[in-house]
Amino acid sequence: EPEVTQTPSHQVTQMGQEVILRCVPISNHLYFYWYRQILGQKVEFLVSFYNNEISEKSEIFDDQFSVERPDGSNFTLKIRSTKLEDSAMYFCAIRGAFNQPQHFGDGTRLSIL
């Protein structure tokens, strides 16, 4: 049973549209992450989020991406104007204390047409 639930499991969207991917942890956590995995490639870090603000982001995480915790529970990743190359599996991860494991959700498969 994953410690974090991601919705939707699969999202198909037209290029240029906005998408919102959601992540709901089972219990309270302070540290949140988004990663992505393009088909056949390695998992890549996008952004980390702590205490309601971004603590680090990769160069992939450009202005079209944003994250927030709108209600203190859901953690969302928004892609404003999707591109074909955004097609990937997006994973949310959570962590407790420092130097503890990151636990991943089952992912959202995003397909841009």
| Residues near other proteins (CB under 8 A) | 2, 31, 33, 35, 42-45, 48, 55-56, 58, 89, 91, 93, 95, 98-107, 109
Are 108 and 7 within 8 A, CB to CB?
yes
Strand order in 65-68's β-sheet? 4-7, 19-25, 75-79, 65-68
Please provide residue 41's backbone torsions phi and psi, each rounded to the nearest 5 degrees.
-115, 180
Q: Nearer to other proteins by C-beta: 24 or 89?
A: 89
In whole angstroms, the minimum distance from the beta carbon of 36 to other proteins comes to: 11
Task: Tell me the closest approach of the beta carbon of residue 111 to other proteins, in angstroms.
Answer: 13
Q: Could you tell me the smallest distance in angstroms from the CB atom of residue 47 to other proteins?
A: 9
Q: In terms of CB distance, is 19 or 47 closer to other proteins?
A: 47
Residue 31 or 68 having the CB closest to other proteins: 31
Whole-angstrom distance, CA of residue 68 vs CA of residue 15:
23
Minimum separation from the CB atom of position 32 to other proteins (A): 11
